[in-house]
Structure 1
Amino acid sequence: MCSLRSGAPLIVFFSPTDTDAVSSSVLAGVQDGCAPPCLSDNAPGDPTAKPPQDRERRSRRRGLVIEYESDSIDPKTSRWEPQSWERQLENIREMRKNKDAPVDQMGADKCFDRDATPKVMRYQVLMSLLLSSQTKDQVTSAAMEKLRGHGLSPENILHTDDKTLGELIYPVGFWKVVKPVVSTTRYTQPCKVFYQSKDPDAASLKMFLQSKVKYIKQTTELIVRQYGGDIPDSVAELVKLPGIGPKMAHLIMDIAWNKVSGIGVDTHVHRIANRLKWVKKETKAPEETRVALESWLPRELWSEINWLLVGFGQQVCLPVSPCCSDCLNQGVCPSARRGRSKAKAQNKAQ
């Protein structure tokens, strides 16, 4: 059997005299993709075949193209990978091993009722991710707790009026932490982050009721009417639901269906991937980052990477004033190096 790599044609060159000298026994069995079935102009045993000395001599060599079954991989093109990504990943794992970030206690995989039926559990996972858009885990978790106390099933939500539903999830999108949040891990000194916030006014509340509540009701109606009370089991169907985008769909597939369909890229994953240069060129949107990451990151890491980077972004690699001096990746992070170089340049200028 041949062990040639698939992906691109193999070019085999023979001169006219070479092909005449190759015996049919050498070429036997080549029809499986290792070589063409016959290199001569005439089939063996053909009485009309001309002797080698009477054939037209050609000065150039002949190229024989052998096609493989798969053309998906080009061996001439090596897959791009960011520098030091494996070391950076191991450092992040080390910093995340305590599992003490908000996502570890209040993420979407912690917000559903484990005693509910499988259908209801999957529905609750979808609802928690639907509510989590642009909302902190603490706020989403509080809203989910109130919803579960009310009865978070498709049938019960459809029988709940909009006003009651709005009151149950009222904090989502409005209440934010107004006191300093201290991020402390074994590897970092306390890092304070302040969030500015104000109570919602009547106009904001009205807009809120017209968005989140509407999405919840419309999505629930579709789940009951089109999917028999269960959530869709594919990304293509999930993104058809109101308020569900690719990021949420991939996370739903992972948490609710235990199927890895892609990387869930939120603002933390998007920010950190660009800071670490895990994208070949800077990306502007999370979906663009997802495509870039999936082009090189091994598939077996797709599920873990969201959880790792979200918690890392909540505690260390903060949006503003990241704790670079306490990060294990300080020496291998391109963004941190730029910061130190800039500081040195400023010191020299002074």
Structure 2
Amino acid sequence: MEDNAFAAFSFSAPAPPTSWNRTEKTVKVEVDAGVKQSGRLSPLGINRDRSVSQTDKRRKLTAKVERFDAAATVGRLPCLVKTEPKLEIEDSDQAISGNIVKVESSSKAVKARQSRSKADNSTKECAPENWEQIVQGIRSMRMGKDAPVDLFGTHQLFDIEADKGTQQFQALVAAMISSQTRDAVTGAAMQRLRAMPGGLNVAHIASDDVEIDALAEILKPVGFYRQKAKFMKSIAQSLAAPPHNGAVPNSLEELMKLPGVGPKVALLVLWVAFGMGEEGLIVDTNVRRVCSRLGWVPADATPELTRRTLESWMPRSMWADTSFLFVGFGQQVCKPLAPKCEGCKVSQLCPSAFKQSPKRQTRKPK
């Protein structure tokens, strides 16, 4: 395909991290002004082109650092995850002149910088023990590429004969309706949508010829099919109008403005429709479950927390393949109710191996 969009998918990935009992540390860096210099950026990244009045505002840059308790992670390194810094402005009677803010060279500020530096380094080291070996083992079990996601995933559901814009819209629809729905059901629904008179394209779905109730009947039995039919109609109408003018946006921010499109769907669209697999790691219920059983995230971690945790240490180039690998692995081996631990090549490295009930016990008739 042109422009690397809809490229064939290959396996070349690694895997996820740690997170447990958290304690918080707060680091404060005091930034004072008081030097006459020009043409330079301040430590806050602000170019001060004009002189500032006599009364300055003392600025405190507060960075919260969440530390994961090493005692709660078996054989793994503690992981530091920093939240966004917050700028607090307080009144001060210190006078400044010039156009640059200077960081106070006190021992307190130095210690704060050292603390931040340690946090940055630790983030790189927080990958779980043996994660590379685990990913290689999962990759070897996925060589057959015969999981439901391989056969009915979003990358398989658009019309390869259609123009690129239509392909991208169909990928968006497939990603949106796949949520809370088995891949085979999504695949069948996409076949029915593409077979509609007028086709599955922005102009047709946005037109008055297509009613929401008709879309709902076509989508059934997709999970939440009535709500997704409304989303489809709204998405098409939004895309048909300016500023999109019929085109699917290729940015995470713009995609998430569309009805029914969250981070997972948006990242999936960027990967499949635009070949942008490094925008974020796609985490569905399978990926979250596998990472939880491996001890890389807490048992109650949300998909979003799982994604942020994995992205904090995993090489960006491996995000897309890792998602694809782990989804299929969760569908075929690491199943929700009856994981196949006996045939799993990484069971010796999994702290949850053989701890799940193999089958639901059926009650014998009296």
TM-score range, shorter chain: 0.5 to 0.7
- Match of 2:195, SS state, is helix
CA distance in 2, matches of 1:119, 1:72: 45
Scaled by the length of structure 1, the TM-score of the pair is 0.65
Q: Structure 2 vs 1, CA of residues 121 and 277 (structure 1 numbering), >3 Å: closer, same or farther? A: same
- Match of 1:77, SS state, is helix
Count of residues in correspondence between the two structures: 242
Q: Deviations over 1:83-138 (max 9, x none)?
A: 11111100100000000111101100000001111111000000001111100000
Q: Deviations over 1:32-90 (max 9, x none)?
A: xxxxxxxxxxxxxxxxxxxxxxxxxxxxxx99x8xx9xx87756636201011111100
Q: Deviations over 1:224-243 (max 9, x none)?
A: 11311111111111111111
Question: Which protein has the larger Cα radius of gyration, Structure 1 or Structure 2?
Answer: 1
CA distance in 2, matches of 1:73, 1:252: 36
Q: Deviations over 1:184-219 (max 9, x none)?
A: xxxxxxxxxxxxxxxxxxxxxxx742x111100111
Asked if residue 80 in structure 1 is aligned to residue 97 in structure 2, the reply is no
**Matched AA of 2:232:** I
CA distance in 1, matches of 2:192, 2:204: 14
Q: Structure 2 vs 1, CA of residues 77 and 172 (structure 1 numbering), >3 Å: closer, same or farther? A: closer
Asked if residue 219 in structure 1 is aligned to residue 235 in structure 2, the reply is yes
CA distance in 2, matches of 1:300, 1:127: 26
Is the strand fraction higher in 1 or 2? Answer: 2
CA distance in 2, matches of 1:163, 1:296: 45
Question: 1:230 is matched with which residue?
Answer: 247
Deviation at 1:302, TM superposition (A): 0.1
Deviation at 1:334, TM superposition (A): 1.2
CA distance in 2, matches of 1:124, 1:73: 46
Q: Deviations over 1:296-343 (max 9, x none)?
A: 111111010111011101100001110111100111111117669xxx
Q: Where in structure 1 are there 5+ consecutive unaligned residues?
A: 1-61, 174-206, 341-350
Question: 1:291 is matched with which residue?
Answer: 308
Scaled by the length of structure 2, the TM-score of the pair is 0.62
- Match of 1:227, SS state, is coil
Is the helix fraction higher in 1 or 2? Answer: 1
The one of the two structures with greater contact order (alpha-carbon pairs below 8 A, sep at least 6) is 2
Deviation at 1:276, TM superposition (A): 1.0
The CA RMSD measured in Å over matched residues stands at 2.5
Asked if residue 278 in structure 1 is aligned to residue 296 in structure 2, the reply is yes
CA distance in 2, matches of 1:111, 1:294: 27
Matches within 5 A, 1:254-273: 254-259=271-276, 260-273=278-291
Q: Structure 2 vs 1, CA of residues 338 and 118 (structure 1 numbering), >3 Å: closer, same or farther? A: same
CA distance in 2, matches of 1:76, 1:272: 27
Q: Structure 2 vs 1, CA of residues 140 and 76 (structure 1 numbering), >3 Å: closer, same or farther? A: closer
Question: 2:169 is matched with which residue?
Answer: 123
CA distance in 1, matches of 2:120, 2:167: 45
Which residue among 306, 310, 316 is the counterpart of 2:323? 306
2:175–2:265: 8 Å Cα contact kept in structure 1?
yes
Q: Where in structure 2 are there 5+ consecutive unaligned residues?
A: 1-105, 358-366
Identity %: 41
